Structures are given as C-alpha cells and as structure tokens.
Amino acid sequence: MATFISTNPDATLGLGERWGREIRAGWIIGLTGELGAGKTQLVKGIARGLGVITRVHSPTFALINTYDGGRLPLFHLDLYRLDTRDQITAAGLDEYLFGPQGVTVVEWVERWLGQAAGQNSRGQGLPAHLRRVWIDTISGTERSIRYEDSGA
C-alpha cells in the first residue's frame, strides 16, 4: 500500500492528474473518505490527466456523470444515496463496475465493496483492475491518501 500526503487541494488534484495520465481502460478507482475529504478533487485531477476539459462535479443526485473528449471516457459514480449492492444493480451501474469501456471512479465505493465478496446478479466477482483509495483528513487542508492496486 502506498501513501501520499496532500498538503492542499492542488496537491490532491496533481496526484489525480498523474493517475489520469497513467490509467488504462477497464480500471476502477474506488474512493473512500468522509464528506469533504477531497474525493471529488481527486476525480477532477484524474479527468485533467485524461484530457477531459468539461467541468467535473460530484454526481450525488444523478448517481453517474460521464465525461468524454479525453484519452478515455471517464465514468464518475457516487454511491452515497445507495445502501446495498441490490440498489446499485437496480440503478443499472454494474456495467460501469465490471469491465468499463473507459475508466470508472466510484465515490463511496465501500457501499459496493462491502458486499462484493460474493458475486453480483450476473455472476461477476470483483473487477479485474481495482485501485482502492482511502482519503483521511489530517487537518483543514492536509489529507492522507492511501491506495493499493489489485488485478493485472
């Protein structure tokens, strides 16, 4: 597991931008952190690294925002309003969680992974490429961003 200490929102944006330049199609980036921890700031950086020029904002009420125009499509999911894996499946989000045609970033991923030890309704387990990210608040501007990759 790697740890990055962000001293300000621009540093978080920069980390995301670096990831966006390196990420490949099919990857899922799952974000865990309290409200205001910087999850959406990290997604803005990923979008910038992918070359997305559209303004990025949290899809809390829409559940998903799709951003095209970059090197790869970016699917930004927010599971805050969903409590169970069945609700996630019923919302039609499985296609973005298993083998997306671009990159999927999921805020509140623990709402999905907390129940992901088994298989979903289509018999699929965890995605092939997953970067799990935990963002913890250290101070008003500092964040500890821990992450680890699984899959190929």
Cα–Cα distance measured from residue 105 to residue 47, given in angstroms and rounded to the nearest whole number: 10
What is the predicted pLDDT for the residue at 112?
84
Does this model's pTM top 0.95? My answer is no
What is the predicted pLDDT for the residue at 123?
43
What is the predicted pLDDT for the residue at 99?
77
Task: Quote the distance between the C-alpha of residue 3 and its chain's center.
Answer: 17
| Alpha-carbon distances, residue 145 vs 1, 80, 109, 137, 138 (angstroms) | 10, 20, 15, 9, 10
Q: What is the pLDDT along the chain (152 residues), one digit of tens a residue?
A: 999 999 999 999 999 999 999 999 999 999 999 999 999 999 999 999 999 999 998 887 889 999 999 999 999 999 999 988 889 989 999 889 887 889 999 999 998 887 443 333 344 566 778 999 999 999 999 999 999 998 75
What is the predicted pLDDT for the residue at 84?
85
What is the predicted pLDDT for the residue at 22?
96
Q: Could you give the domains of the chain?
A: 2-151 (3.40.50.300)
Detail the DSSP E strand segments found in the chain.
2-6, 28-32, 64-67, 74-78, 103-107, 129-137, 143-151
Residue 141, exposed/middle/buried by CB under 10 A (0-12, 13-18, 19+)?
Answer: middle
Q: Indicate the DSSP class of residue 50.
A: H
What is the predicted pLDDT for the residue at 29?
96
What is the predicted pLDDT for the residue at 119?
39
Beta bridge partners of 2: 147
